[in-house]
Amino acid sequence: MIYRIRSDSGIESDPVANDEHGTKGNYFGQLPGGGGVSDVLQPQSPHGRQMLPIIRQVTPGLALAWLALVALLGWWMSQRIVAEHLDSLASSAQYETITTARIMDRLFTEMVSVAHMVAGQAEVIQLAVRYRTDPPGVVALTRQQRAVQFTQDPLVRKVGDFMNALASDLGYARIYMNNMSDDTVTASNWAASDSIVGMIYSGRSYLIDALRDGTGSSFGIARLNKTPSYFVASRIVDSNDAPQGSVTVKFDAPNVASYLTGRHIALIVNRQGRVITTSSDRFMLRNVAALLSPGTVLPPDNEEEPGEPMDVRAIAGSAHADQWLIDGRPYLLRHQPLAGTPYQLFTLASLEQLVPMRRQHFWTAGLMAAFGLALILLFDRVAAQLAERRRRAEQDREMALSQAAERELTIKVRERTAELAESNNSLKAEIDRRHLLEAKLRQSLDSVNDALAQQQDFVAMVSHEFRGPLAVIAAAADNLMASVAEGSDKLKLRIDKIGRTVKRMSMLIENVLAGDRLNTGLVPFVKVELFDLNEILHTAKAGLDDIAARRVSFIHDDAAMVKGDRVLLEIAVQNLIQNALKYSALTKPVTVRLSTGQESAFVHVTDLGTGVALGDRDFIFMKYYRASGKNVNGSGLGLYISREIAQQNGGELKLGASDATGSTFCLSLPLERSARPSQEHELRNSQPARLEP
């Protein structure tokens, strides 16, 4: 016999080498005495041969773990760096927003102060009183003609020179005065070719607000030079506080933008969402209404256009709030309202540097991953070479040990072969014994089946033989009852008792036959037909004696067409009625109610007895089971057979309700929908009454 060394240090026999009994040598992994083949080859070690596969399995896992670690750590560090950068941008933008808002607040406050100061000058008040309103016919003149009339007055020129000097010192575009007719009486550029003296500014909101409230402000496009500008007006009053006109300070938006200095983009936005001043020309006079809070945007007024809308969308899922895409560029937004004005200051910090920052993080993580993979592959190569050397050394040592153990192994294999042969003989004897027992059991089963068949034949024969005499007795009782004279009450009671006994015996025979049919295992239906359940109720009523008929009330419903064995279903309903009569007092009524649902018809049989005890409810439908403590005659077959009949006809019989005041059993059967419409119409016309006592 030839043996080889297995990878698990066991001994494997040559597949073609069998012992003298025909049993292959690889059956003998466990030798006599509890020792195995591996015990013979001790002290052999598998570590040398297993090391190389382990290294080859560990290396890919180690590489994947390294890649996962670098990816996770790189993602976490990138998120931290980006979050810190966003926090820095948010702080910077917030600081610039607060600082710039203070500057703009002071600038607008200064414009209001200058307008009040000029409106309070004595010469300005004197000039306003002199030209408080335009005389008749002035409106028909041209602006140049009105300007000639005004500038002929030395006071107009003197006030205009004062306004010009003040505007030049403060950097304003111009300062001018309007009378109550909105006509420009004088201006800081009265002597220039583009002078606005004589220009009538009817309907300007800042002039209207100034005359009504004392101060007015607005942003708009100048009529002459088309420059976007801020306008602040102050009311001129005389010594009696009567309005005489207004003084307006005009500050061009490009000059205001020079104050919007900083690292980020600054926007001044009105209530309509229009950018009226900005440090970036790309946003000037554009509409960014989407940046305003919901419900604060006003519709465009009649003076100015709302501006071309920019594509503004909120960045979903961002770590910081107020991140927006404006014309495809990402920004971090900070905003603050400007005091005393209807404007808001927005600061936009660009987030475009985040993309190259993340790309740099990606390449850094990739270089780290590549460096780590190189080290892992180098380790794998060195470890594999060392494992291969160790494996070869152990293989040589095991070959020497196997040759020394071959002689001892052969002896133990022969001993094990003898034991297996003895076990095979014992097993064969046990198999023969079990075959003999199986044959005897089959014969016993055949005998039992024959006995059951004979019993069924006997029951059917006895039941058939009983039917004839019972029918004769019932007919004789009926004839005798008909022939008894009036006043023979005792004789009538005895005849009635005979009739009830005959019916009880007939019902018992029908139950026995029905149970036999249900237990045969063959198709239980002799005749499957379509009929109305109301007919079953009529048949059940006709089969009651006079005493039972007075106790049982039948409540019919519309046509309830079902398909099944009519005879078996009649037995089921009669069993339920007889059960209700037996388990309730002789003076208590029994109600049989027919109703229909969407898919099923229901026959509810309700009695006013003592109910079914809780301990009996799980067993009352078992064959031959009778409730304990009930002194009532019966075979224990009625409910069992009734439920079997219901299930054989596709329905169910359940105990619907039961307490100390009585019980209700519910028989449900599936409705036959295909035949119901026409049958229902016919039966409605043929059934005049619903309740039958």
Span 229-262, pLDDT tens digits? 889 999 999 989 999 999 999 998 888 888 888 8
Listed residue (125, 155, 361) closest to 245, CA to CA: 125
Question: What pLDDT, on the 0 to 100 scale, is given for residue 522?
Answer: 47
Identify the H or E element spanning 665: strand 662-670
Residue 120 pLDDT exceeds 60: yes
Coil vs helix vs strand at 669: strand
Q: Quick one: pLDDT band at residue 668, thresholds 50, 70, 90?
A: very high
Identify the H or E element spanning 466: helix 354-483
Q: Within 13 Å, how many C-alpha atoms sit on residue 55's CB side?
A: 20
CATH topology of domain 120-257: Beta-Lactamase (3.30.450)
In the chain, CATH 3.30.450.20 sits at 120-257, 260-352
More confident residue, 42 or 669: 669
Q: In whole angstroms, what is the distance from residue 3 CA to residue 409 CA?
A: 10
| Average predicted confidence (pLDDT) for the chain | 81
More confident residue, 465 or 370: 370
Rounded average pLDDT over 553-571: 89
Residue 228 pLDDT exceeds 90: no
pTM over 0.85: no
Residue 680 pLDDT exceeds 70: no
> What ranges make up the beta strands (E) of 414-496?
none
Q: Given CATH 3.30.450.20, say whether it is the number of domain 260-352.
A: yes
Question: What pLDDT, on the 0 to 100 scale, is given for residue 7?
Answer: 43
Q: In whole angstroms, what is the distance from residue 443 CA to residue 452 CA?
A: 14
Tokens 């000029």 -> residue: 118
Q: What is the pLDDT of residues 629-662, one digit of tens each?
A: 566 777 777 888 889 889 988 999 999 898 888 9
> What ranges make up the beta strands (E) of 315-379?
323-326, 329-337, 344-350
Rounded average pLDDT over 98-123: 92
Q: Within 13 Å, how many C-alpha atoms sit on residue 516's CB side?
A: 18
Pairing mode, if any, of strands 590-596 and 552-555?
parallel
Contacts of 445 (CB under 8 A, 6+ apart): none
Percent of the chain with pLDDT over 70: 79
Query: Which two tokens mark 290?
Result: 């989407």
In the chain, CATH 3.30.565.10 sits at 526-692
More confident residue, 258 or 57: 258
Lowest mean pLDDT among 33-37, 147-151, 345-349, 439-443: 33-37
Residue 350 pLDDT exceeds 60: yes
- How many other C-beta atoms lie within 10 A of the C-beta of residue 595? 16
Identify the H or E element spanning 286: strand 286-287
Rounded average pLDDT over 159-166: 94
Buried b (16+ CB within 10 A) or exposed e, 61-97: ebbeebbeebeeebeeebeeebeeebeebbebbbebb
Buried b (16+ CB within 10 A) or exposed e, 522-558: eebbeeeeebbbbebbeebbebbeeebeebbbbebbb
CATH architecture, domain 526-692: 2-Layer Sandwich (3.30)
Question: What pLDDT, on the 0 to 100 scale, is given for residue 47?
Answer: 55
Coil vs helix vs strand at 19: coil
Enumerate the β-bridge partners of residue 278: 267
Q: What is the pLDDT of residues 298-315, one digit of tens each?
A: 887 666 677 889 999 888
Q: In whole angstroms, what is the distance from residue 598 CA to residue 684 CA?
A: 18
Question: What pLDDT, on the 0 to 100 scale, is given for residue 517?
Answer: 62
The DSSP letter of residue 18 is B
Identify the H or E element spanning 186: strand 184-187
Q: In whole angstroms, what is the distance from residue 606 CA to residue 581 CA?
A: 10
Question: What pLDDT, on the 0 to 100 scale, is given for residue 665?
Answer: 94
Rounded average pLDDT over 545-554: 88
Residue 320 pLDDT exceeds 60: yes
Pairing mode, if any, of strands 265-269 and 243-252?
unpaired
Amino acid residing at 625: Y
More confident residue, 9 or 149: 149
Q: What is the pLDDT of residues 464-514, one digit of tens each?
A: 566 667 777 877 777 777 777 666 776 766 776 676 677 666 766 766 666
Q: Quick one: pLDDT band at residue 266, thresholds 50, 70, 90?
A: very high
Coil vs helix vs strand at 141: coil
Question: What pLDDT, on the 0 to 100 scale, is given for residue 651?
Answer: 93
Q: Is residue 608 within 8 Å of residue 659, measured between CB atoms?
A: no
The DSSP letter of residue 261 is -
Identify the H or E element spanning 205: helix 205-213
Q: In whole angstroms, what is the distance from residue 363 CA to residue 373 CA?
A: 15
Residue 525 pLDDT exceeds 50: no
